Structure 1
Amino acid sequence: GPISDWTGRKTSLIGGNLVNFVGTLLLAYARNFGVMFLGRFIMGLGAGIAFMGPELYASEISPPEVRGLTSTWGELFINVGILVGYVSGWALGARWRTMVALGAIIPAVSVVLQLLIPESPRWLLQKGKEQEARSALRKVAAYSRSQEQEQVDEIAMVLEAERANDRPALKELFFPEKALVHAMVVGWGIAVFQQANGSEAVVYYTPTVLTAVGIPGGNVLYGVTALVGLCKALFVAVALLSMDRTGRLPLLIISAGGVTLGLGMLAIAFTLDPMVPMLAAGGLCCFMAFFSI
């Protein structure tokens, strides 16, 4: 977004992680609701700054032949993080402050590592720093001189095309060109239904749902919750490895069908008398797996 365009991809990544680090510590050591709310708010700001950064950076530094794969790895690691959260809940039990505080390790390590990476070549060329852009290209891939020149020419051509068709962002959003309307409707529609199907509620309230359907607390509850998280992470990997071969649309259709099946299983599990815990757990696993595709 505007922050990464202004400060650079690397700086926005570091800044987002620093903000996240501060918010996580505030949340972990909060002694009242006000401080807890402030910590969560700051974490949200940090996540918002850094959320798109890794994928944007990866797409701008990767060679063309692996660009699609590397730019989508962020989604895989988001789900690995969710799984780690479930497992840490299992391991730490009621010690929630410890679990939250451990989350500060990730942004801290990220900042240290991000200090070592080069700035995005595309951003450097956008700012007229060609020699620095060439140096960054040499650091991220073993380009020959001819390949390096090809990358510089490609980036320069894209930037020139963007300048030639430059329109204010708000005007592009509210008064798009006709050629973009269909793509925007499809993109927004997918994004809306991706949230409207209850995915966030399933992620955040998996233990609550499992408890409500009759699964006992303690290690059994944490174990089933971790299994749900494992299904989510594994199927993200399946999607990443297969999307270039199968195409996006078939995976999207399969995902929609599987999500519907999972929600149906979950609804039936709550409707039956007595409720069926394993059917609910299966429904959650099915939902998480196919949503991740």
Structure 2
Amino acid sequence: MAHDPEEPALASSAKGGGSSTEIRAAREPLLNGGRGPSSENYSISAAILPFLFPALGGLLYGYDIGSTSCATISIESATLSGTSWYDLSSVEIGLVTSGSLYGALIGSVLAFNVADFLGRRRELIAAALLYLVGALVTALAPDFPVLVIGRFVFGIGIGLAMHAAPMYIAETAPTPIRGRLISLKEFFIVLGMVAGYGIGSLVVDTLAGWRYMYGASTPISIIMGIGMWWLPASPRWILLRAIQGKGDIQNLKDTAIHCLCRIRGPAIGDSALEQVDEILAELSYVGEEKKVTIGEMFRGKCGKALLIGCGLVLFQQITGQPSVLYYAASILQSAGFSAASDATRVSILLGLLKLIMTGAAVGVVDRLGRRPLLLGGVSGMVISLFLLGSYYMFLDNAPAIAVVGLLLYVGCYQISYGPIGWLMISEIFPLRLRGRGLSLAVLVNFGANALVTFSFSPLKALVGAAVLFYIFCGIAVASLVFIFFIIPETKGLTLEEIEAKCL
């Protein structure tokens, strides 16, 4: 389309300098009768597309995880790889599987520097382009170095998408269903994993099947890119630029109203101007017109938001999620499940369980709240890790205990850390810190994932599986204490109210 709804937000104007005094309200809108979530006018049908296209970034992330587990089998096969360089070392296979993870770490660093300038929408368009290029380069790779480059490029797209998607969804979603929509993005990640396992199992016996596995993600990346090009910018990002004097205040307000009307649909009626004015007043009241310096990021409200966000995603990874799934096939085999002989089938089975439990969390998160799901789910993880440690320590003749522990862990993770971790980091950061703060949280997430993944084998050899699971159990107990004393409840609050009342 010819008109880019973000262009006015990137224009500078001499009039912009006095914008903060123009919009500052004498009253305290968050404490004295703000509009509140119940009075937001929206329709479910209008909320679908502003959620769906960013969520496709999560779907492609999950698909990469699922398809890569099957692609490595195909690439290493002398008869099925379709290459002369199939005989890869363990280090080279590690580069294939973790190449996108390294790229995601770089994408998180890039997001720290460019996110607030580009805006959420443009960052997601860039992510879709990187997904497309990375998938094509990987699928058409003539040799191993080009294959690794393709995996790396795709990973940069993951880093940008997993940074911008929760921000865009959080900033455009109606408050009453914000938790449900952001949690549904985790559902899309798991759905992508199941799709990756499924497509991988279908073509793993095909000549050069790995090329089809990686190439299959290109249509989704194209749909994501076109969808994000069609969607408007985040109204809150536009209004942040307005109160920080980065453009003409009236021009930016008009753009924000236009974007809000497109996102909420006809249901918003004539209330768009009132909502924009209310958001501006709230942003001004909580001091969003001030830019965050590096030093300020670690103090006061910003420091507390970083503690909450980075702490959650750190515990999300170091409570053992990658390691527990590593043992899934052997646990089910020991219990006599015939499907356990096929790792792909086991992965699909667990993926379906993850889908069901994530769907359960999506259904109740805006009714029960974030804290009850975190406290209940992590308590279940503590029990499951204790059962797994006990199985490997002295109950190896009772494989049913291990199966119960495995399924309990997967289910409890998917109603707690799985969706709620991404939900909280998209809500908790003040708007002026949201771009950089969320990039740090995503960096911690992928960094901790890499640390747990790569340290697992040496730790297992050093202390054994039983002690390793007991260690994860202790970490899960510590995370339970962290949640109880540090994590606030954000259910039913607007993003501006979260900043004013929870930080």
TM (normalized to structure 2)? Answer: 0.51
Letter in 1 for 2:297: L
Counterpart in 2 of 1:291? 413
Instruction: Report the Cα offset of residue 62 of structure 1.
Output: 2.5
| Distance change in 2, residues 1:157/1:108 (3 Å) | same
Does 2:258 align with 1:135? yes
For the 8 Å contact 2:329–2:341, the answer to whether it is kept is no
CA distance in 1, matches of 2:308, 2:126: 32
Q: More deviation in 227-236 or 95-104?
A: 95-104
Counterpart in 2 of 1:123? 237
Counterpart in 2 of 1:244? 366
Counterpart in 1 of 2:186? 75
Give the alignment of 1:10-49 within 5 angstroms. Answer: 10-49=121-160
Structure 1 residues 192-241: Cα deviation after superposition (integer angstroms, max 9, x where no partner): 221112213445x4666568757667885433321211111221221122
SS in 2 for 1:52: helix
1:257 alignment partner, one of 376, 379, 400: 379
2:279 alignment partner, one of 109, 132, 155: 155
CA distance in 2, matches of 1:267, 1:199: 14
CA distance in 2, matches of 1:98, 1:281: 34
| Distance change in 2, residues 1:117/1:180 (3 Å) | closer
CA distance in 2, matches of 1:31, 1:211: 38
| Distance change in 2, residues 1:207/1:252 (3 Å) | closer
| Distance change in 2, residues 1:284/1:116 (3 Å) | same
Does 2:292 align with 1:167? yes
CA distance in 2, matches of 1:64, 1:82: 29
Give the alignment of 1:96-245 within 5 angstroms. Answer: 96-125=210-239, 126=241, 127=247, 128=249, 129-141=252-264, 142=266, 143-145=268-270, 147-160=271-284, 161-168=286-293, 170-174=294-298, 176-177=299-300, 184-202=306-324, 205=326, 209=330, 213=334, 220-245=342-367
Percentage identity across paired residues of the two chains: 30
CA distance in 1, matches of 2:210, 2:405: 27
CA distance in 2, matches of 1:23, 1:189: 31
> Computing the radius of gyration over CA atoms, which structure comes out larger, 1 or 2?
2
Letter in 1 for 2:292: R
CA distance in 1, matches of 2:328, 2:307: 35
For the 8 Å contact 2:130–2:156, the answer to whether it is kept is yes
| Distance change in 2, residues 1:108/1:207 (3 Å) | farther
CA distance in 2, matches of 1:210, 1:32: 37
For the 8 Å contact 2:138–2:150, the answer to whether it is kept is yes
Letter in 2 for 1:102: A
Aligned residues: 287
Structure 1 residues 116-161: Cα deviation after superposition (integer angstroms, max 9, x where no partner): 211222223325422222211111112121x112221123224434
Letter in 1 for 2:258: S
Q: More deviation in 133-142 or 20-29?
A: 20-29
CA distance in 1, matches of 2:126, 2:306: 30
> Aligned Cα RMSD in Å?
2.9
SS in 1 for 2:230: coil
Structure 1 residues 37-62: Cα deviation after superposition (integer angstroms, max 9, x where no partner): 22222122111111122221122222
| Distance change in 2, residues 1:180/1:13 (3 Å) | closer
Structure 1 residues 67-92: Cα deviation after superposition (integer angstroms, max 9, x where no partner): 33323332221122122222223333
Q: More deviation in 180-189 or 20-29?
A: 180-189
| Distance change in 2, residues 1:29/1:240 (3 Å) | same
CA distance in 1, matches of 2:141, 2:398: 38
Greater RCO between the two (CA within 8 Å, min separation 6)? Answer: 2
For the 8 Å contact 1:211–1:221, the answer to whether it is kept is no
| Distance change in 2, residues 1:74/1:279 (3 Å) | same
CA distance in 2, matches of 1:262, 1:242: 23
Counterpart in 2 of 1:89? 200
| Distance change in 2, residues 1:164/1:14 (3 Å) | closer
CA distance in 1, matches of 2:391, 2:372: 29
Letter in 2 for 1:20: Y
CA distance in 2, matches of 1:265, 1:288: 13
CA distance in 2, matches of 1:33, 1:282: 41
Q: More deviation in 208-217 or 123-132?
A: 208-217
